């Protein structure tokens, strides 16, 4: 008798419907994850060396299972990714108890679940009732996120009861998600991380079990373990096999927080990603899953990036047409005498058109402002923001990197100057050889003339031509040429010199009549990377736009007047309605900047002398007038003046830093910091105590030189600190101590003004 | 604070559009922009008008659990941008007792504006779970000077939750209006707070059966968020709406007429907590075993709760007022102020003491129990009667001893349960001496470096601050952080050989002894040594900035006493010592002196800050005081050969 739909048991009906909705895995032997708990997790005793740590990770395991989805007997483009996380942590103090007092979790997929138990110091195991978990609308903290985390999943939190120091917490989180290779690609999410965690770790394991046709791209660095094949955990089938690979690590000390350190280059770290070889539905001829330890394929890099400077849009057309018109005009006028002039002025003219479009024209939109074509790159590096984030300046807008690359290449091509696209691996991630994912790469434009090469980042308001960026220092990569097909070559961005990155502050100091404060006139000059954090603030009034718009004005070409062309504004004036407010705001920002280092009684005046936006080596320069307090003490009839404080905040190494350095030293760039302090000695006084102000320390890593002399009742103090390198081996750390400590000492030095 | 409150967060404009606003026609304010920019510098948006109108309704036949009197608050804000093309953001808070609806924005042409709205849970830093929700509202403003009218309505399902109305907002307001339309069947008491110093006009108009009471303030500045600002209830003008009673069909029903009614409601909420003392008996027996005196027993229970029950707050719905059952808090080892107070009460009762739940408004609130409103308190503690005296036990404190009270509850009125009655009492208030910090140093000069030994002793709040911070620090960082604390993060100081008294002792002072070396405090010129004997310069950086808008709340009352002896180096004699300095007011005092004792110089310094809040009106006097202190600090000793 046939069953009508109403006669079927509701449970059976639901199961039947689920079978229609969800693909069925029709293999005899199913691979699984999360079933085995290693002996290492059962440890309860903590090694003596870690008894004083806040917490110790006893065991940490992450397993991933990649299965191809099958529908009606045929494999599809879908991949079912299962994730299993198991952590066991001993909490050894109140800080750790407070930190783990709340457990956050997300579970994805129908089988997703979280289990939690507390193992009391006596050995009793207490299961936490996960039903009391509360839905959390806010994002879960990163430490609790599964790596295949997706937005819009339900986040949960639970307050862990009866938790106290000495307890061991043990939790597992299982999740699963479906990945459509047709829409999401055949490369699954890449991961880069250090094996050093916030707490010391006794045991950690990462495991990948993959269906046929998959591979795990894997590299280990700085002594991290290699990945191994696990035949016992692999499952062999007639149609489909699942190969299991894993890497494990033991006895790992916690992460080190040292000044000037790149964690990925200094600590044992790994990069991995599972990829699929092909995604033709129904293809069952693919081989068993493997490990791929290869680096980047330059052919692939070329294919992936060459188009970045060939992406023509209407905006690009307008940019190029205008710039070409301008360059022709200036060449005719004889202003552009050589290729170097053309390249520089091409860059500045493009900048003008972009800024004019942005501030006055049709590309003034949020999307244009933020879409850089480097989203994924930024995402992958998000974990290392501290070192890698490109500094955003006040009032900054930046051109889309692809638009810039195409516009610059095209504009220079019209002048017969080839431009190249330089694809590089930022040095915080490693050398080119260390890179294995395309997402690790970034690009800038490179233009060569004779013996010189310019590296040009996408235009923003403030970068001068060929501005050095710390993230480009010694970056290795390939330069893609466009003057012939399939042409590229390996190259490295040279490190900038200490003199190219200059900070110079010149003080003229007068004492107030009451001898309680000092009146200061300070002229500050900055070049290169030293200029970067200040230039946006200094140009907050946008007066530079007027200069740009006038200087780089060219009559629009009539042929551009087509209906669809992006119009280019011809008005050379920029009316900034908030200019006066911004001038006040600028003064207030620089006052705040000064207050970070000094006790300011009055901040009187800020005057921009050079915008720092033009020329080959554009200097940012401004003059300030202010009154400082609390630098003068009295002693009987005499005064003690803390002159050293004027050289600004100097690094004071912490006691722990005076000991042995554990990681190599990655300085953002070589640089020079100069101070010149002219002090008018008040009449009726002489100055004493200068012997402490003369120093001269010079070694291979840096130097600090200071002088103090009195001439015609003027005390002149000069200091010069140079960081000579952007990198040193950790063994060179004593060199740094040798010049950093005297610089700090000088910043604390005082002179005595003696009543005659 | 751990207790659910129903006054809206200060940034919220909790209003609704129920009545028709007629008084504020859309106009062009371009002509006012320059004036407002001058009057409210740094502000980007000004409200030409921000009006709240409060209406009440009677539900004659309320269903079970439903309130008889409800209220709506309708708001209209005429926002005028002072810059072109700004985006306006606002956060509208609501919860189970109040809802928000009819959020609308009209542009200068009176056309509706599309609003971006994102609503969800509101997570407060100190609350694990609550029913607080927030709607983030965002909409674009256009050209400067062109007004946008922003309206919404807030519904209070029970009038008891309608409490506070503030005049200031996060934007400046040219005309601030709060109007209560009080029907004849309702008795309302509108209590005014912090009106002094503000020009607020109050008018009362009888309109048929309705009395319209209107408060109007012109040119209300924007609230400024500054560190160390006292709670806005302390400083800012506001009204608390007390709905005392209503009359329906000749029958008068009391709501919150006085504290008795407030206590009655609290008492009803706490009537069915569901405590099961049986589950706590063994622990209480364990804690009180071998304790010789009643006081020791109380201390044992009180300290165990402080040390073992983590602070995790739940404020969802009625749980904002009702403690979790004692056995749950005991089992979970976590709870909020209510849960801890109830656990203390239950454990102490098992131990044979008379212990009571106690409501209190902390120092964040300026009210006492003459105000019968849910706004009056924000915290719960436990009172225990011992040897004829009341002791107030705050389970949320750390390291506090019996009969010692944190600054935040000192001097505050308490409402103690007493069956059907209640007791009003007050927490004792202490002088700054309770928090005394004393520093004794002996130092000498070797090769232009000062070396010495020091003893630091901490009491009261100072001691608890050090104890709590030390306990919360990771084990492996404790030594480093303690050293850093003792040198006040001064790079010129090195600390060594630290020894300490018991960090867990609640009764005795915390004593830290250590050796130190101080660089760059001696300047040598020829035969002279210029010596800084006090590099701490306590309070020297505490000038109040001229543009500070809020009063300043200190962490505590202070009493610091320093005594430093400098041994004169061999071959040197004292050439100059600074003059003594003394200055004293009722709120603060400083006394410092150097004495030449022949072979040494004795430096002494005493600072007292007796009032925890420094009023803006006192800033000038305070800054003169700090300036005078700095003159004393900036005076060095001279030793000569």
- Closest approach of B56 to chain A, Cα-based (Å): 34
Evaluate whether residue B7 is within a structural domain.
no
Domain boundary among B229, B254, B279: B254
| Pair B384, B498 in one domain | no
Q: How confident is the model at residue A379 (pLDDT cuts 50, 70, 90)?
A: very low
Q: Does A636 touch chain B (CB under 8 A)?
A: yes
Contact status, residue A601 vs residue A329, Cβ threshold 8 Å = no
Evaluate whether residue B17 is within a structural domain.
no
pTM for the complete prediction? 0.87
Query: In this model, does residue A150 exceed pLDDT 80?
Result: no
Residue A565: per-residue pLDDT = 53
The per-residue pLDDT for range A187-239, each reduced to its tens digit, is 888 888 899 999 999 999 999 999 998 999 999 999 999 999 999 999 998 77
Interface test with B, best of A94, A141, A365, A628 (most B CBs within 10 A): A94
SS3 content of chain A, % helix, strand, coil (to 5): 25, 35, 40
Query: In this model, does residue A494 exceed pLDDT 50?
Result: yes
Determine the Cα–Cα distance for residues B148 and B20; give it in Å rounded to an integer: 17
Quick check: A53 and B475 CB within 8 A? Answer: yes
Evaluate whether residue B4 is within a structural domain.
no
| Pair B249, B272 in one domain | no
Q: Which tokens is B270 given?
A: 């706490």
Length of chain B: 641
The per-residue pLDDT for range A603-641, each reduced to its tens digit, is 999 999 999 998 767 999 999 999 999 999 999 999 999
Domain boundary among A472, A492, A512: A492
| Pair B127, B167 in one domain | yes
Determine the Cα–Cα distance for residues A364 and A397; give it in Å rounded to an integer: 10
Q: How confident is the model at residue B7 (pLDDT cuts 50, 70, 90)?
A: very low
Determine the Cα–Cα distance for residues B256 and B162; give it in Å rounded to an integer: 12
Please report, to the nearest 10 degrees, the dihedral formed by the alpha carbons of residues B280, B282, B284, B285 taken in order.
160
Quick check: A101 and B334 CB within 8 A? Answer: yes
State mean pLDDT over B439-467. 97
- Closest approach of B256 to chain A, Cα-based (Å): 34
Determine the Cα–Cα distance for residues A99 and A101; give it in Å rounded to an integer: 6
Query: In this model, does residue B367 exceed pLDDT 90?
Result: yes
- Comparing CB atoms, the residue among A636, A689, A744 nearest residue B638 is A636
Angle in degrees, CA B333, B338, B344, rounded to 5: 65
Residues of B in contact with A752 (CB under 8 A): 523, 525, 528, 530
| Pair A235, A331 in one domain | no
State mean pLDDT over B172-200. 97
Angle in degrees, CA A91, A92, A94, rounded to 5: 90
Residue A409 CB: number of other CB atoms within 10 A? 22
Contact status, residue A359 vs residue A368, Cβ threshold 8 Å = no
Residue B2: per-residue pLDDT = 43
Domain boundary among A294, A327, A350: A294
Q: What is the CATH number of the domain that holds B343?
A: 3.10.620.30
Residues of A in contact with B491 (CB under 8 A): 652, 744
| Total tally of structural domains belonging to chain B | 3
Residue the block writes with tokens 């000037």:
A260
Evaluate whether residue A261 is within a structural domain.
yes
Q: Which of A92-96, A261-265, B451-455, B618-622 has the lowest mean pLDDT?
A: A261-265
- Closest approach of B421 to chain A, Cα-based (Å): 36
- Comparing CB atoms, the residue among B472, B526, B576 nearest residue A636 is B576
| Total tally of structural domains belonging to chain A | 3
State mean pLDDT over A548-563. 67
CB pairs under 8 A between A and B: 110
- Comparing CB atoms, the residue among B121, B471, B540 nearest residue A94 is B471
Interface test with A, best of B474, B495, B631, B633 (most A CBs within 10 A): B474
Domain boundary among B410, B426, B442: B426
| Pair A33, A125 in one domain | yes
Q: Which of A590, A593, A690, A605 is nearest to A643 (CA)?
A: A690
| Pair B458, B604 in one domain | yes
Evaluate whether residue A644 is within a structural domain.
yes
Residues of A in contact with B636 (CB under 8 A): 633-635, 640
Residue B296 lies in domain: 263-426
Q: Which of A115, A85, A95 is nearest to A55 (CA)?
A: A95
SS3 call for A302: helix
| Pair B400, B456 in one domain | no
Determine the Cα–Cα distance for residues B450 and B448; give it in Å rounded to an integer: 7
- The set of residues, in sequence order, having a beta carbon less than 8 Å from that of B161 and lying 6+ positions away, is B6, B97, B98, B374
Evaluate whether residue A539 is within a structural domain.
no
Residue A550: per-residue pLDDT = 86
Q: What single DSSP character describes residue A259?
A: S
Evaluate whether residue A445 is within a structural domain.
yes
Q: Does A652 touch chain B (CB under 8 A)?
A: yes
Among chain A residues, the shortest Cα distance to B121 is held by A137
Residue A588 lies in domain: 502-528+576-755
- The set of residues, in sequence order, having a beta carbon less than 8 Å from that of B157 and lying 6+ positions away, is B66, B67, B70, B97, B98, B99
Quick check: A744 and B491 CB within 8 A? Answer: yes
| Pair A419, A519 in one domain | no
Evaluate whether residue B154 is within a structural domain.
yes
Interface test with A, best of B634, B635, B637, B638 (most A CBs within 10 A): B634
Determine the Cα–Cα distance for residues A23 and B302; give it in Å rounded to an integer: 60
Evaluate whether residue A567 is within a structural domain.
no
The per-residue pLDDT for range B272-298, each reduced to its tens digit, is 999 999 999 999 999 999 999 999 999
Determine the Cα–Cα distance for residues A632 and B635; give it in Å rounded to an integer: 9
Burial tier of A28 (Cβ tally within 10 Å: 0-12, 13-18, 19+) = exposed
ipTM of the complex: 0.88
Quick check: B523 and A640 CB within 8 A? Answer: yes
Residues of B in contact with A163 (CB under 8 A): 310, 333
Give, in order, the Cα–Cα distances in Å from B458 to each of A186, B500, B505: 64, 11, 12
Evaluate whether residue B22 is within a structural domain.
no
| Pair A263, A129 in one domain | yes
Determine the Cα–Cα distance for residues A275 and A181; give it in Å rounded to an integer: 10
Evaluate whether residue A563 is within a structural domain.
no
Please report, to the nearest 10 degrees, the dihedral formed by the alpha carbons of residues B38, B39, B41, B47 taken in order.
-120
Strand B116-121 vs strand B133-140: parallel, antiparallel, or unpaired? antiparallel
- Closest approach of B370 to chain A, Cα-based (Å): 38
Residues of A in contact with B533 (CB under 8 A): none
Q: What is the CATH number of the domain that holds A582?
A: 2.60.120.1130
The per-residue pLDDT for range B112-145, each reduced to its tens digit, is 999 988 888 777 777 777 777 888 899 988 888 9
Please, what's the largest Cα pairwise distance for chain B? 98
Q: How confident is the model at residue A395 (pLDDT cuts 50, 70, 90)?
A: confident
Q: For the CA atoms of chain A, what is the radius of gyration?
A: 32
| Pair B362, B472 in one domain | no
Q: How confident is the model at residue B17 (pLDDT cuts 50, 70, 90)?
A: very low
- Comparing CB atoms, the residue among B472, B524, B530 nearest residue A94 is B472
Q: Which tokens is B504 given?
A: 């867990």
Higher-pLDDT residue of A182 and B18 is: A182
- Exposure on the CB side of residue B508, measured as CA atoms within 13 A: 9
**H/E stretch holding B608:** strand B600-609
Residues of A in contact with B494 (CB under 8 A): 655
| Pair A484, A516 in one domain | no
Question: With pLDDT > 90 as the criterion, what percentage of chain A qualifies?
Answer: 62
SS3 call for A559: helix
Higher-pLDDT residue of B459 and A177 is: B459
- Closest approach of A297 to chain B, Cα-based (Å): 45
| Pair B371, B444 in one domain | no
Residue B147: per-residue pLDDT = 94
Length of chain A: 756
Contact status, residue A456 vs residue A408, Cβ threshold 8 Å = yes
Q: Which of A316-325, A412-421, B300-309, B623-632 has the lowest mean pLDDT?
A: A316-325
- Comparing CB atoms, the residue among B472, B473, B520 nearest residue A745 is B520
SS3 call for B330: helix
| Pair A594, A463 in one domain | no
State mean pLDDT over B228-236. 95
Query: In this model, does residue A677 exceed pLDDT 50?
Result: yes
Query: In this model, does residue B538 exceed pLDDT 70?
Result: yes
- Exposure on the CB side of residue B495, measured as CA atoms within 13 A: 22
| Pair A255, A373 in one domain | no
Evaluate whether residue B133 is within a structural domain.
yes
Domain boundary among B254, B287, B303: B254
Evaluate whether residue B23 is within a structural domain.
no
Question: With pLDDT > 70 as the criterion, what percentage of chain A qualifies?
Answer: 86
Residue B25: per-residue pLDDT = 46
| Pair B318, B404 in one domain | yes
| Pair A373, A477 in one domain | yes
| Pair B315, B198 in one domain | no
- Closest approach of B637 to chain A, Cα-based (Å): 6
Evaluate whether residue B12 is within a structural domain.
no
Q: Does A152 touch chain B (CB under 8 A)?
A: no
Query: What mean pLDDT, rounded, does chain B reach?
Result: 92
Quick check: A138 and B123 CB within 8 A? Answer: yes
SS (H, E, C) A580-632: HHHHHHHHHHHHHHHHCCCCEEEEEEEEEEEECCCCCCCCEEEEEEEEECCCE
**H/E stretch holding A534:** helix A532-538
Q: Does A750 touch chain B (CB under 8 A)?
A: yes
The per-residue pLDDT for range A316-360, each reduced to its tens digit, is 888 898 899 999 999 999 999 999 999 999 999 999 888 887 777
| Pair B237, B269 in one domain | no
Quick check: A102 and B526 CB within 8 A? Answer: no
Evaluate whether residue A340 is within a structural domain.
yes
Taken in order A332, A338, A343, A347, the sign of the CA dihedral is: negative
Q: Which tokens is B136 given?
A: 């983030």
Q: Which of B318, B326, B329, B382 is nearest to B355 (CA)?
A: B382
- Closest approach of B375 to chain A, Cα-based (Å): 28
Q: Which of A105-114, A485-494, A566-575, B400-409 has the lowest mean pLDDT?
A: A566-575
Domain boundary among A443, A467, A492: A492
Residue A376: per-residue pLDDT = 25
| Pair A444, A506 in one domain | no
Q: Does A197 touch chain B (CB under 8 A)?
A: no
Any bridge partners for residue A89, and if so which? A57, A169
Quick check: B333 and A652 CB within 8 A? Answer: no
Question: With pLDDT > 70 as the criterion, what percentage of chain B qualifies?
Answer: 95
Q: What is the CATH number of the domain that holds A275?
A: 2.60.40.3140
Among chain B residues, the shortest Cα distance to A163 is held by B333
**H/E stretch holding A356:** helix A339-360
Contact status, residue B409 vs residue B363, Cβ threshold 8 Å = yes
Q: Which of B11, B542, B46, B6 is nearest to B224 (CA)?
A: B11
Contact status, residue B335 vs residue B312, Cβ threshold 8 Å = yes
Q: Which tokens is A324 given?
A: 């070409």
Determine the Cα–Cα distance for residues B382 and B371; give it in Å rounded to an integer: 21
Q: Which of residues 555-594 of A touch B (CB under 8 A)?
A: 577-578
- The set of residues, in sequence order, having a beta carbon less than 8 Å from that of A389 and lying 6+ positions away, is none
Residues of A in contact with B520 (CB under 8 A): 745, 748-750
| Pair A340, A415 in one domain | yes
Residue A148: per-residue pLDDT = 62
- Comparing CB atoms, the residue among A95, A101, A578 nearest residue B310 is A101
- Supply φ then ψ for residue B464, to 5 degrees: -65, -35
| Pair A586, A616 in one domain | yes
Among chain B residues, the shortest Cα distance to A689 is held by B525
Evaluate whether residue A569 is within a structural domain.
no
- The set of residues, in sequence order, having a beta carbon less than 8 Å from that of B414 and lying 6+ positions away, is B358, B359, B360, B381, B383, B392, B424, B425, B426, B427
Determine the Cα–Cα distance for residues B141 and B45; give it in Å rounded to an integer: 9
| Pair A186, A328 in one domain | no
Contact status, residue A341 vs residue A549, Cβ threshold 8 Å = no
- Comparing CB atoms, the residue among B144, B310, B492 nearest residue A748 is B492
SS3 call for A304: helix
| Pair B209, B300 in one domain | no
Quick check: A102 and B312 CB within 8 A? Answer: yes
Rounded to a whole number, what is the distance in angstroms from the first to the last CA of chain A?
Answer: 122
Interface test with B, best of A364, A585, A635, A650 (most B CBs within 10 A): A635
Determine the Cα–Cα distance for residues B288 and B298; give it in Å rounded to an integer: 8
Q: What single DSSP character describes residue A199?
A: S
Q: Which of A587, A583, A579 is nearest to A605 (CA)?
A: A587
Residues of B in contact with A578 (CB under 8 A): 83
Q: Which of B560, B561, B558, B562 is nearest to B609 (CA)?
A: B558
Query: In this model, does residue B608 exceed pLDDT 80?
Result: yes
Q: Does A216 touch chain B (CB under 8 A)?
A: no
Residue A8: per-residue pLDDT = 34
């Amino acid at each position: 008798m046939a069953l009508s739909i109403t006669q079927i048991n509701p449970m059976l009906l639901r199961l039947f419907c689920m079978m229609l909705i969800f693909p069925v895995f029709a293999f005899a032997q199913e691979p699984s994850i999360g079933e085995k708990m290693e002996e290492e997790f059962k440890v309860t005793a903590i090694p003596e060396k870690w008894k004083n740590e806040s917490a110790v990770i006893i065991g940490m395991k992450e397993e991933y299972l990649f299965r191809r989805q099958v529908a009606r007997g045929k494999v599809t483009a879908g991949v079912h990714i299962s994730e299993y996380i198991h952590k066991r942590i001993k909490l050894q103090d109140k800080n750790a108890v407070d930190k783990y007092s709340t457990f956050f979790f997300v579970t994805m997929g129908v089988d997703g679940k979280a289990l939690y138990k507390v193992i009391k110091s006596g050995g009793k195991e207490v299961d936490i009732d996960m039903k009391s978990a509360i839905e959390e609308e806010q994002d879960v903290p990163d430490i609790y996120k599964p790596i295949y985390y997706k937005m819009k999943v339900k986040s949960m939190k639970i307050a862990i009861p009866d938790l106290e120091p000495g307890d061991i917490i043990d939790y597992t989180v299982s999740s699963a998600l479906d990945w459509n290779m047709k829409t999401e690609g055949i490369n699954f999410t890449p991961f880069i991380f250090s094996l050093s965690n916030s707490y010391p770790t006794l045991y950690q394991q990462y495991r990948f079990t993959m269906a046929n046709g998959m591979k795990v791209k894997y590299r280990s660095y700085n002594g991290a373990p290699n990945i191994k094949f696990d035949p016992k955990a692999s499952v062999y089938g007639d149609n489909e096999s699942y190969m299991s690979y894993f890497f494990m690590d033991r006895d790992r000390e916690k992460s080190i927080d040292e000044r000037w350190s790149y964690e990925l280059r200094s600590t044992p770290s790994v990069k991995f990603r599972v990829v699929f070889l092909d995604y033709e539905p129904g293809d069952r001829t693919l081989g068993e899953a493997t490990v791929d330890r290869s680096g980047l394929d330059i052919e692939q890099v070329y294919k992936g990036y060459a188009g970045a400077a060939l992406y023509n849009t209407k905006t690009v057309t307008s940019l190029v047409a205008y710039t070409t018109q301008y360059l022709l005009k200036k060449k005719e006028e004889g202003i552009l005498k050589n290729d170097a002039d053309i390249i520089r002025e091409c860059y500045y003219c493009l900048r003008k058109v972009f800024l004019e479009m942005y501030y006055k024209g049709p590309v003034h939109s949020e999307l244009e402002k933020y879409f850089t074509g480097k989203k994924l790159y930024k995402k992958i590096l998000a974990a290392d923001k501290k070192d890698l984030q490109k500094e955003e300046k006040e009032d900054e807008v930046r051109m889309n990197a692809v638009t810039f690359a195409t516009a610059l290449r095209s504009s220079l091509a019209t002048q017969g100057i080839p431009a190249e696209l330089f694809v590089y691996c930022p040095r915080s991630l490693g050398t080119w050889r260390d890179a294995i994912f395309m997402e690790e790469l970034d690009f800038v434009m490179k233009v060569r003339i004779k013996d010189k090469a310019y590296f040009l980042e996408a235009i923003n308001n403030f970068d001068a031509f060929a501005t050095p960026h710390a993230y480009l220092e010694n970056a290795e990569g390939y330069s893609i040429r466009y003057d012939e097909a399939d042409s590229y070559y390996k190259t490295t961005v040279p490190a900038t010199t200490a003199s190219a990155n200059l900070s110079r502050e010149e003080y003229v100091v007068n004492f107030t009549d009451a001898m309680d404060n000092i009146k200061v006139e300070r002229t500050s000059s900055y070049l290169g990377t030293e200029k970067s954090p200040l230039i946006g603030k200094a140009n907050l009034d946008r007066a530079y736009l007027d200069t740009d718009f006038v200087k780089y004005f060219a009559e629009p070409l009539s042929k551009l007047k087509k209906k669809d062309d992006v119009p280019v504004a011809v008005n050379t004036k920029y009316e900034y309605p908030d200019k006066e407010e911004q001038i006040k705001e600028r003064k207030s920002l620089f006052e705040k900047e000064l207050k970070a280092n000094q006790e300011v009684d009055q901040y009187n005046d800020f005057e921009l002398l050079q915008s720092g936006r033009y020329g080959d080596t554009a200097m940012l320069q401004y003059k300030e007038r202010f009154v400082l307090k609390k630098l003068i003490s009295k002693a009987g009839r005499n005064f003690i003046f803390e002159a050293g404080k004027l050289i600004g905040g100097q690094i004071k190494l912490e006691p722990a830093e005076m000991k042995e350095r554990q990681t190599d030293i990655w300085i953002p760039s070589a640089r020079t910091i100069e101070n010149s302090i002219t002090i008018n000695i008040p009449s009726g006084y002489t100055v004493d105590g200068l012997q402490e102000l003369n120093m001269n320390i010079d070694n291979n890593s840096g130097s600090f030189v200071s002088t103090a002399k009195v001439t015609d009742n003027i005390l002149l103090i000069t200091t010069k600190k140079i960081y000579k390198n952007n990198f040193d081996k950790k063994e060179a750390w004593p060199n740094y101590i040798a010049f950093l400590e005297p610089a700090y000492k000088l910043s604390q030095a005082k002179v005595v003004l003696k009543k005659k | 604070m751990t207790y659910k409150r129903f006054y809206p967060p200060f940034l919220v404009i909790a209003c609704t559009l129920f009545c028709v606003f007629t008084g504020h026609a859309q106009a062009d304010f371009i002509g006012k922009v320059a004036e407002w920019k001058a009057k409210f510098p740094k502000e980007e948006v000004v409200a030409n008008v921000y009006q709240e109108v409060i209406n009440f309704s009677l539900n004659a036949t309320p269903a079970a659990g439903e309130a008889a009197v409800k209220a709506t608050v309708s708001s209209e804000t005429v926002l005028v941008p002072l810059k072109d093309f700004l985006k306006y953001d606002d956060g509208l808070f609501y919860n189970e007792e109040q809802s928000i609806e009819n959020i609308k924005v009209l542009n200068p042409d009176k056309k509706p504006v599309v609003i971006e709205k994102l609503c969800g849970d509101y997570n407060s830093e100190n609350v694990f779970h609550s029913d607080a929700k927030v709607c983030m509202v965002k909409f674009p403003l256009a050209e400067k000077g062109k007004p946008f009218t922003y309206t919404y309505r807030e519904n209070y399902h029970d009038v008891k939750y309608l409490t506070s109305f503030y005049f200031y907002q996060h934007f400046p307001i040219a005309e601030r209006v709060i109007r209560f339309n009080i029907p004849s069947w309702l008795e309302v008491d509108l209590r005014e707070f912090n009106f002094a110093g503000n020009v607020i006009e109050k008018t009362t108009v009888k309109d048929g059966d309705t009395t319209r009471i209107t408060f109007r303030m012109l040119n209300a500045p924007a609230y400024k968020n500054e560190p160390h600002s006292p709670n806005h209830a302390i400083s800012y003008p506001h009204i608390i709406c007390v709905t005392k009673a209503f009359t329906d069909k000749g029958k008068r029903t009391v709501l919150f007429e006085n504290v008795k009614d407030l206590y009655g409601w609290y008492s009803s909420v706490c009537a069915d907590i569901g405590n099961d003392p049986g589950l706590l008996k063994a622990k209480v027996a364990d804690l009180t075993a071998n304790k010789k005196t009643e006081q020791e027993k109380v201390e044992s229970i009180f300290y165990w709760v402080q040390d073992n029950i983590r602070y995790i707050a739940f404020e969802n719905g009625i749980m904002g007022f009702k403690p979790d059952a004692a056995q749950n808090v005991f089992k979970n080892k976590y709870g909020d102020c209510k849960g801890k107070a109830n656990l203390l009460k239950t454990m102490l009762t098992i131990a044979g003491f008379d212990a009571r739940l106690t409501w209190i408004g902390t120092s964040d609130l300026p009210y006492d129990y003459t105000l019968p409103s849910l706004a009056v308190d924000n915290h719960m503690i436990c009172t225990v009667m011992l040897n004829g005296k009341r002791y107030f036990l705050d389970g949320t404190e750390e390291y506090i001893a019996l009969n010692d009270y944190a600054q935040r509850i000192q001097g505050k009125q308490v409402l103690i349960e007493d069956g059907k009655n209640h007791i009003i009492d007050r927490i004792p208030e202490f002088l700054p001496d309770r928090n005394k910090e004393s520093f004794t140093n002996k130092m000498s000069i070797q090769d232009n470096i000062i070396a010495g030994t020091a003893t630091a002793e901490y009491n009261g709040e100072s001691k608890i601050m050090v104890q709590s911070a030390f306990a919360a620090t990771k084990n492996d960082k404790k030594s480093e952080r303690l050293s850093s604390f003792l040198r006040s993060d001064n790079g010129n100081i090195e600390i060594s050989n630290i020894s300490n008294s018991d960090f867990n002792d609640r009764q005795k002072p915390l004593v830290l002894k250590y050796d130190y070396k101080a660089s760059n405090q001696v300047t040598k010129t020829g035969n002279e040594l210029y010596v800084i004997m006090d590099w701490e310069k306590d309070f020297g950086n505490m000038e109040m900035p001229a543009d500070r808008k809020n009063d300043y709340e200190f962490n505590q009352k202070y009493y610091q006493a320093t005594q430093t002896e400098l041994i004169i180096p061999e071959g040197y004699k004292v050439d100059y010592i600074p003059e003594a300095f003394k200055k004293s007011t009722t709120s603060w005092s400083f006394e410092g002196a150097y004495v030449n004792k022949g072979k040494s110089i004795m430096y002494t310094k005493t600072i007292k800050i007796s009032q925890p809040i420094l009023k803006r009106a006192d800033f000038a006097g305070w800054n003169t005081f700090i300036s005078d202190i700095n003159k004393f600090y900036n005076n060095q000793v001279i030793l000569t050969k």
